[in-house]
C-alpha cells in the first residue's frame, strides 16, 4: 500500500505578554488583574502552601469574595519536598472534586515552590488554564515568577518534568517580605547580586551602597521602600530582558546561569543542605576569580563582588568537607551540561557578560582545567 502523508499546517503566533506589578498589600490588585478580559468570569482556585495560607490566605480569599468572585483555596504542605508529580496529582484531584472545569483561573500565592507547582497544574489542567502569580518571597521576585518555567522535581533531577506556561500577570507583594527569615532573604539576595553582575552596574552599586557602605542588615533592606522596590523591579526587568530575547534557553538565557555551573554542582554535592542563593554566591565569587585569571574582569571588580556578598552575609568559599571530586561528579550530572562539555558563563567586569567568538554566552571548559581551577581555591589548595 502506498504511504500517505499530508501536513496539518499550524503556525502559532501567540501574544503571551503579561504585566508585572510591584507594590505593597496587593490583594485587591490581584483581584483587579483577575477581572481583566477573559479572566473576569472564571472561577478562581487559589493554590498556596501551609505557611503562606496562615500569613495571607484569608486576606486574599476575602478580597476575592468582596469582589463577588467565587474563590476557593487549595493548600499543600510547604517546602521543596512538595514539588512532586504526586502533589500535582493530589491538587488536580482536589480541583476535580471541587468541580473546577475549563472556565477556571489559578492564582498561585507563595514563593517559587508554589508558583512552579501551581503553574504546572495550570499548564495541564483541562489542557491549560490561565494563572496569575502572587509572589511572596525575594527568590520569587529575583527568579521564579518571571519566565514561564513551571515544573516539579523527580529523584533524578530538580525541575525535570514541567512546561513553559506564561502567567497572565505577576504581582510582587513587598509587604510579604516582612515575614521572611534572614536566610530566606539571603537566598534571594544570591540571585539578586547575580542579576546585577550580568546586566546592571548601577543596581550593583546600589546594593554596595546599602550593604557595604551603610552596613544594612538584610531585614532592613527588605523593609526599605526604595531598596525593596528597586530589587523587585530590576530583578524582574533583567530576567525579562534575557527571557524576551531567548524564551526557550537557546543561548542568551544562558547568561542567567552566571555562577550556576559551580553553584548548582556545589548545591547537589552538599545534598541540598545549603540554600540555592548561598551556593550561587559561592559560584559567583569563584567564577569571578576565574574571570580575573582569564582577563575578563579586573581583580578590583572581583574584590568588590566578594565584599558585597560578605556584607550581605552570604558565603564566598567552598565549605569544609567538600572535595574537588564531589563537585566534579555533581557537575557531570547537571542537566544543563551539553554533550559532556561543561559550559561556563563569565562576567565581563560588573554589569556585563562575556560573549565568545561564535556569539555564544557560555564557553566550554575541559574537566582537567576545571579540576585544576577548583584545586587552587581556598580550602582545597593545602589538601
Ligand X SMILES: NC(=O)c1ccc[n+]([C@@H]2O[C@H](COP(=O)([O-])OP(=O)(O)OC[C@H]3O[C@@H](n4cnc5c(N)ncnc54)[C@H](O)[C@@H]3O)[C@@H](O)[C@H]2O)c1
CB of 148 to ligand X, least distance (A): 8
Q: d(Cα 181, Cα 194) in Å, to the nearest integer?
A: 21
SS3 helix, strand, coil % of the chain, rounded to 5? 50, 15, 35
CB of 75 to ligand X, least distance (A): 11
Select the residue interacting with ligand X from 137, 287, 291, 316 (CB under 6 A).
Answer: 137
Stretch that binds ligand X, among 7-15, 45-53, 208-216, 335-343 (CB under 6 A): 45-53
- Asked if 55 touches ligand X (CB under 6 A), the answer is yes
Stretch that binds ligand X, among 37-45, 87-95, 173-181, 246-254 (CB under 6 A): 173-181
Cβ within 8 Å of residue 146, ≥6 positions away: 20, 170, 236, 239, 240, 243
- Asked if 176 touches ligand X (CB under 6 A), the answer is yes
Cβ within 8 Å of residue 160, ≥6 positions away: 151, 153, 154, 335
**Residue in the structure block whose three cell numbers are 502567567:** 167
- Asked if 110 touches ligand X (CB under 6 A), the answer is yes
- Closest CB to ligand X among 176 and 252? 176
Q: d(Cα 76, Cα 70) in Å, to the nearest integer?
A: 20
- Asked if 84 touches ligand X (CB under 6 A), the answer is no
Select the residue interacting with ligand X from 83, 194, 260, 304 (CB under 6 A).
Answer: 83
**Residue in the structure block whose three cell numbers are 499550524:** 10
- Asked if 257 touches ligand X (CB under 6 A), the answer is no
Cell numbers representing residue 173 in the block: 507583594
> Which candidate, 168, 157, 148, 331, places its Cα nearest to that of 246?
148
Q: How far is CA 269 from CA 73, 328, 366, in A?
A: 37, 9, 20
- Asked if 80 touches ligand X (CB under 6 A), the answer is yes
Select the residue interacting with ligand X from 31, 88, 106, 116 (CB under 6 A).
Answer: 116
- Closest CB to ligand X among 120 and 344? 120
- Asked if 51 touches ligand X (CB under 6 A), the answer is yes
- Closest CB to ligand X among 131 and 296? 131
- Asked if 23 touches ligand X (CB under 6 A), the answer is no
Burial 150-182 (b: 16+ CB within 10 A, else e): bbbbeeeebeeebeebbbbbbbbbbebbeebee
- Asked if 179 touches ligand X (CB under 6 A), the answer is yes
- Asked if 235 touches ligand X (CB under 6 A), the answer is no
- Asked if 79 touches ligand X (CB under 6 A), the answer is yes
Q: How far is CA 120 from CA 72, 107, 167, in A?
A: 18, 12, 11
- Asked if 113 touches ligand X (CB under 6 A), the answer is yes
Residue with nearest beta carbon to ligand X: 112
Q: What is the dihedral of CA 242, 244, 247, 249, to 10 degrees?
A: -20
Helix or strand holding residue 5 (H, E): none
3-state secondary structure of 350: coil
Judged on CB neighbours under 10 Å (0-12, 13-18, 19+), 205 is middle
Select the residue interacting with ligand X from 104, 133, 136, 257 (CB under 6 A).
Answer: 136
- Asked if 139 touches ligand X (CB under 6 A), the answer is yes
Select the residue interacting with ligand X from 140, 190, 255, 315 (CB under 6 A).
Answer: 140
- Asked if 48 touches ligand X (CB under 6 A), the answer is no
- Asked if 267 touches ligand X (CB under 6 A), the answer is no
Stretch that binds ligand X, among 14-22, 106-114, 281-289, 327-335 (CB under 6 A): 106-114
Written in H, E and C, the secondary structure of 29-70 is: HHHHHCCCHHHCCCEEEEEEECCHHHHHHHHHHHHHHHCCCC
Stretch that binds ligand X, among 120-128, 141-149, 198-206, 261-269 (CB under 6 A): 141-149
Summarize as ranges the residues that interact with ligand X (CB under 6 A): 49, 51-52, 55, 78-80, 83, 110-114, 116, 136-137, 139-140, 143-144, 147, 149, 158-159, 176, 179-180, 184, 187
Amino acid at each position: 500500500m502506498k504511504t500517505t502523508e499530508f501536513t496539518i499546517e499550524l503556525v502559532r503566533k501567540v501574544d503571551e505578554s503579561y504585566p508585572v506589578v510591584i507594590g505593597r498589600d496587593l490583594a485587591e490588585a490581584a483581584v483587579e488583574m483577575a477581572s481583566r478580559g477573559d479572566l473576569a468570569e472564571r472561577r478562581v482556585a487559589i493554590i498556596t502552601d501551609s505557611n503562606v495560607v496562615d500569613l495571607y490566605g484569608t486576606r486574599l480569599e476575602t478580597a476575592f469574595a468582596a469582589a463577588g468572585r467565587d474563590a476557593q483555596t487549595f493548600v499543600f504542605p510547604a517546602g521543596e519536598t512538595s514539588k512532586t508529580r504526586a502533589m500535582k496529582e493530589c491538587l488536580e484531584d482536589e480541583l476535580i472534586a471541587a468541580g473546577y472545569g475549563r472556565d477556571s483561573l489559578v492564582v498561585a500565592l507563595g514563593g517559587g515552590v508554589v508558583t512552579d507547582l501551581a503553574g504546572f497544574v495550570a499548564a495541564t489542567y483541562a489542557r491549560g488554564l490561565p494563572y496569575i502569580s502572587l509572589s511572596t518571597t525575594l527568590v520569587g521576585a529575583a527568579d521564579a515568577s518571571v519566565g514561564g518555567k513551571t515544573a516539579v522535581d523527580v529523584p533524578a533531577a530538580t525541575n525535570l518534568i514541567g512546561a513553559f506556561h506564561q502567567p497572565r500577570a505577576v504581582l510582587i507583594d513587598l509587604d510579604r517580605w516582612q515575614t521572611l527569615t534572614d536566610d530566606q532573604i539571603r537566598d534571594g539576595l544570591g540571585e539578586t547580586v547575580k542579576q546585577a553582575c550580568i546586566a546592571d552596574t548601577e543596581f550593583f552599586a546600589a546594593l554596595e551602597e546599602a550593604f557595604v557602605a551603610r552596613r544594612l542588615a538584610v531585614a532592613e533592606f527588605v523593609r526599605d521602600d526604595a531598596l525593596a522596590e528597586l530589587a523587585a523591579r530590576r530583578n524582574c526587568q533583567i530576567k525579562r530582558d534575557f527571557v524576551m530575547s531567548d524564551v526557550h534557553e537557546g543561548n542568551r538565557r544562558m547568561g542567567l546561569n552566571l555562577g550556576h555551573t559551580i553553584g548548582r554542582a556545589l548545591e547537589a554535592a552538599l545534598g541540598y543542605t545549603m540554600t540555592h542563593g548561598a551556593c550561587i554566591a559561592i559560584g559567583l565569587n569563584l567564577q569571578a576569580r576565574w574571570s580575573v585569571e582569564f582577563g575578563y574582569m579586573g581583580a578590583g571588580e572581583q574584590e568588590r563582588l566578594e565584599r558585597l556578598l560578605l556584607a550581605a552575609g552570604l558565603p564566598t568559599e567552598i565549605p569544609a568537607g567538600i572535595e574537588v571530586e564531589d563537585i566534579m561528579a555533581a557537575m557531570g550530572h547537571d542537566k544543563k551540561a551539553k554533550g559532556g562539555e561543561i559550559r561556563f558563563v563569565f562576567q565581563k567586569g560588573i554589569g556585563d557578560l562575556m560573549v565568545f567568538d561564535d556569539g555564544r554566552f557560555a564557553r566550554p571548559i575541559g574537566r582537567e582545567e576545571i579540576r585544576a581551577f577548583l584545586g587552587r581555591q581556598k580550602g582545597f589548595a593545602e589538601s
